[in-house]
Amino acid sequence: MIRKTIENTSKILFFIFLIMMIGCTHIEKTGNKFLDNAQYCNVNADCTLARTNSGEQCIPVNKLYASKIYAKGIKQDCQKKEVICVNNECIIAEKEEEKLEKCKTDADCAPAECCHATKCVLKSKAPNCEGIMCTMECRQGTLDCGGRCKCIEGTCKPEINN
């Protein structure tokens, strides 16, 4: 009788364990770009570098994901890399490539962030800001209040008017 009770209890516990495992591993697409994609971003400030728990280094991800699903701490050489948001995806900026591509006129340049930009980049490197809503405030040190991007000696630079 006791043996039968132990066997039944073991079966019940195993069944509960299986249900919990299925519940914890089931990931469903939500239709929310941010929740479905660790690299999703709106602005450069959303991005950072992280490492996976298996040790893979220099992964560009959204800061919220970095703190939740990635291991803490990255190698020193990763910290020197710049992460930017391009077309709503966090990527590592390819600095050598940027040196090769130079602007010719002010029209070649655009803000590096959708909201409250402080830097300028080539239009080809600018984020896709379609559907992004920004506050209407005029922040110090940004392009918000009459600032613009200019091409100076082949490099896109901000002209900030505060």
Q: Which residue, chain included where needed, has tokens 């929740």?
A: 35
Amino acid at 22: I
Residues 77 and 58 in one domain: yes
Count the domains in the chain: 2
- 153 φ, ψ (degrees, to nearest 5): 50, 45
Question: pTM here?
Answer: 0.42
Q: Give residue 30's pLDDT.
A: 47
Residues 37 and 89 in one domain: yes
Q: Looking at the domain assignment, is residue 82 inside a domain?
A: yes
d(CA 138, CA 155): 25
CA 20 to chain CA centroid, Å, is: 31
- 90 φ, ψ (degrees, to nearest 5): -70, 125
Residues 66 and 118 in one domain: no
Choice between 102 and 56, residue whose per-residue pLDDT is larger: 102
d(CA 5, CA 98): 70
Q: How confident is the model at residue 15 (pLDDT cuts 50, 70, 90)?
A: low
Q: Give residue 25's pLDDT.
A: 45
Residues 105 and 87 in one domain: no
Assigned token pair, 84: 């930017």
Show the domain range for 106: 100-159
| pLDDT tens per residue across span 114-127 | 888 889 999 988 88
